[in-house]
Amino acid sequence: MEFRDLLYAREAHTATITLNRPDRLNAISLAMLESLSAALRQADADPEVRVIVVTGAGRGFCSGLDLKDMGGLADSGSGALGPRFDLANSPPVVLHSTDKPVLCALNGPAVGYGFDLALGCDVRIASDQARLGAVFTRRGIVPESGGSWLLPRLVGWARAAELAFRGAILSAEEALKLGLVNAVVPHERLMSETQAWADQIGANAPLAVQATKRMMRLGLEESFEANVHHVYLQLLSLFASQDFREGVQAYLEKREPRFEGR
């Protein structure tokens, strides 16, 4: 499948999705919105893919929505957003429902929509040149792509309020101190380090990794008792999997397991 304003590549068990408008600092076009949702769905459905990496081409991760490409929405009033957007198939919703782990390789500034997109990934590894900007209030809008739900859950209410109300722009190290990124690495090592994380995750039992992500996601919105029941139901199917048998056998034989996702 071909994607507009986006590159898609699979190597071994990793699918890499690269926002590809470097001349615009990967500002999100309408074509990219459609491509990003389609690429995430393709990777999630591919049995060979165990980890998804999202990054940007050039010197920026994503500078936000490209309002020029969207026909001047900034001048057309709030009603213009209504029928033109299918929220159920929008990248933030698709990303949130993706079962496979998603790593974000922050290669440069992530501002506005790019900030929310990064927060929607499961793990964020930042170049020391990355910047994260919650600049929505500076533009007269709200975090429109999941940020208002994600940010308080990641850093707590008070920190989220501080960042969002002030329209803060954070360095990679500041984001690390707040827990918004998992690691900061030298720029030239960003993709190799991200791939090392992806390889480590991909070596584990994929059904178990995906089930763990589902259980954690459900746990954000349900009681402890409900989550315990959901986890038990997941265990019943995992106990019957070939991967579970392989994991136990590899442990007994003191060797590395060879998981097949079955």
In a domain, 47, yes or no: yes
Residues 163 and 221 in one domain: no
In a domain, 98, yes or no: yes
What is the mean pLDDT of the segment spanning 132-140? Answer: 87
pTM: 0.91
Residues 102 and 229 in one domain: no
Residue range of the domain that includes 228: 206-252
DSSP track, 54-106:
EEESTT-SB--B-TTTTTSHHHH-GGGGTTT--GGGSHHHHHHH--S-EEEEE
In a domain, 258, yes or no: no
Confidence at residue 76, expressed as pLDDT on a 0 to 100 scale: 47
Residues 35 and 156 in one domain: yes
CATH for 224: 1.10.12
In a domain, 1, yes or no: no
Residues 76 and 15 in one domain: yes
Residues 222 and 148 in one domain: no
Residues 57, 33 contacting (CB under 8 angstroms)? no
Residues 241, 174: Cα–Cα separation, whole Å = 43
What is the mean pLDDT of the segment spanning 91-97? Answer: 93
In a domain, 119, yes or no: yes
Closest-CA residue to 141 (of 159, 118, 115)? 115
Residues 159 and 225 in one domain: no
Residues 135 and 240 in one domain: no
Confidence at residue 84, expressed as pLDDT on a 0 to 100 scale: 57
Q: What is the pLDDT of residues 172-181, one digit of tens each?
A: 999 999 999 9
Q: What is the pLDDT of residues 209-228, one digit of tens each?
A: 999 999 999 999 999 999 99
Q: How confident is the model at residue 71 (pLDDT cuts 50, 70, 90)?
A: low
Residues 61 and 189 in one domain: yes
Residues 24, 33: Cα–Cα separation, whole Å = 15
What is the mean pLDDT of the segment spanning 60-89? Answer: 66
Residues 10 and 58 in one domain: yes
Q: Is 14 helix (H, G, I), strand (E, B) or coil?
A: strand
In a domain, 31, yes or no: yes
What is the mean pLDDT of the segment spanning 7-11? Answer: 96
- Number of structural domains the chain divides into: 2
Residues 68 and 31 in one domain: yes
